[in-house]
Amino acid sequence: MKHIQIATSDTTSDFNAIEAILHSYFDGLYHGDVTKLKSIFHSDAWLKAPGLRRSLSQWLKDVAERTTPAELNAPIDFKIISIDVVQDQAMAKIHCPLFDFNYIDFLGLLKEEEKWIIVNKMYSDIKTK
């Protein structure tokens, strides 16, 4: 199910910009492209999971050092679940099956200087039965 709620004056361009960022996020994760990932995150973003906090620089270092899903020929199963936009702020809920994990990510975005950027990431591994 894809729930999208947009409440801005320029809905199409905002939605398209956010969706492009999410697809860059998926591509960056899949290929381990830290340059691409760094370009869509604000420099002071933190990544937070229950019991775990990482700075953007630590996370990018971790991504750079791991084997990529592309190298493992893993399927690309990332999905946008929902995007909520209210003026210059947005929250995206995405599904990111990655390695042996089944992540649900909440990405907080802000529009600053006419550009959308990820300012916060919360994520959790949703165990499947």
Q: What is the pLDDT of residue 127?
A: 79
Give the structural domain span for 97. 3-125
Q: What is the pLDDT of residue 4?
A: 54
Residue 106, domain CATH: 3.10.450.50
Task: Summarize pLDDT for 47-74 with one digit per residue, the tens.
Answer: 999 999 999 999 999 999 999 999 999 9
Q: What is the pLDDT of residue 12?
A: 80
Q: Are 38 and 60 spatial neighbours (Cβ–Cβ below 8 Å)? A: yes
E-strand ranges in 87-128 read 89-98, 101-112, 115-125
Q: What is the pLDDT of residue 9?
A: 53
Q: What is the pLDDT of residue 1?
A: 44
Q: Which regions of the chain are under pLDDT 70? A: 1-10, 128-129
**Domain count of the chain?**
1
